[in-house]
Amino acid sequence: MATSLKNLSAYTPDEIPSGKGMKIGIVCAEWNPEITFALRDGAHDTLLRHGVQEEDIFHSTVPGTFELTSGAQYFLEYTEVEAVIILGCVIQGETRHFDFICQGVTQGAIQLITEYITPVIFGVLTTQTQEQAKDRAGGKHGNKGVEAAVTALKMIDLQRKMKPAEA
């Protein structure tokens, strides 16, 4: 469904698993901070609302969207998080830079997902305009950070259900 037809913050709270005991990393790009920090705040607040403890939400920033996968890998390598949410925003400019950054972060996330068993949640906006980005970072289309947090909770829950009990 196209984002223009969906509110990214809309979900049924009763269908979301409890985040109690979950540890989640959030990596946020510093580039376009008006947008990315709104995504971060939406994700953070949603995790708290669903029972993740403040001390179990780990934040980090990276300079730009391209560096998100490195930040996520650091979480995967050096912490015990059960999911990592990557949040960024790339707005189309006059050059092909947009294409390279979007492709690079997408491929980087895919590589992490296949290399690690820990979910990496893609919360990167790729928009044509600043206005479109604002609309998806708490504006008329909701907040992609909220959607990313809900996805993290669901993926951790799925993994816990499938993971064999430790002996």
Cα(126)–Cα(101) distance, integer angstroms: 10
Using alpha carbons, list the distances in angstroms from residue 62 to 68, 72, 112, 130: 6, 10, 17, 20
60 close to 28: Cβ distance less than 8 angstroms: yes
Structure tokens at 137: 């970072």
Q: Which residues contact 109 (CB under 8 A, 6 or more apart)?
A: 68, 69, 72, 86, 120, 122
Catalytic option among 50, 59, 97, 141:
97
Residue 44 annotated to the active site: no
- Which amino acid is residue 151, in one-letter code? T
3-state secondary structure 69-80: HHHHHHHHHHCC
Cα(155)–Cα(160) distance, integer angstroms: 9
Q: Which residues are catalytic?
A: 97
